[in-house]
Homo-oligomer: A and B are copies of this chain.
Amino acid sequence: MAIKFDVALSTSVIAFAFNGANLVSLVGEKSEEPYKGAPMLPSKWVRANESVEDVAKNMMKRLLKIDHIYLEQLNAFARVYRNPMGRVVNIAYYALLNWDEVKAVKIPGYRWVSLADKPEMIFDHNEIHDMAYERLKRRVKGRPIGFVLLAKQFTFNNIHTLYEECLGKELDKRNFRKKFMRSELLMDTTESVIEAPGNKKPSRLYEFNQHKYDKLTLKGYDFKF
């Protein structure tokens, strides 16, 4: 049977970041008709001679002015009629970003939205986004991804809130700290900060232990909260 090169290829990226209080994701808008101006995930066409992952990576790097990004394939979305213009296979990635690196960047037509404020998007992009969030929730349990999402130094509150956000439920402060400390992923620094303007007592700052982190990432461990 002869090959028929009659399908178009696109890629979308669901980029998550954590702004200290909420998980946020990047939403763009369509620049052309049809649906011009409608919310959509950051997406790009992929040509026959381009690597899908590279296209996705470069799109994000250009948008966010960063030179490194954590990307993972989410799924291929390939329903026949997902795009009214023709058969488009979308290979979607999900990305985790460090908020400090991206919060200052202003990109016309793009904005960070919390999960609660996520707008209706075109095509099957809502579905893609939902799947990415589900994946994130699972990943949080299986890998110490917190460190990708947090700044180099962070308070215990930061990481505690992050986990609560990702899992969508409250976690006991003491138990959480104990478990995390047992993992030896955190290193105490001697520094501390006043997190919020009104706060009185400063919080200690932590860094993460890259060595331990690499070992755990490799093995794929099990944090069960």
Contacts and interface: CB of A to CB of B under 8 A. Distances in A.
Interface residue range, chain A:
20 to 34
A85 interface: yes
A9 B85 contact: no
Interface stretch (A20-28, A73-81, A206-214): A73-81
Interface in A1-22: 1, 3-9
A119 interface: no
Contacts of A104: none
A87 interface: yes
B45 A3 contact: yes
User: Chain B CB within 10 Å — which of A73, A78, A91 has the most?
Assistant: A78
A73 to B, nearest CB: 6
Question: Copy number of this protein in the oligomer?
Answer: 2
A5 B9 CA distance: 8
Given A73-B76, A76-B73, A76-B91, A5 B45 contact: no
B45 A86 contact: no
Interface stretch (A47-55, A144-152, A162-170, A182-190): A47-55
Contacts of A224: 222
Interface of A: 1, 3-9, 32, 45-52, 73, 75-76, 78-80, 85-89, 91, 222, 224
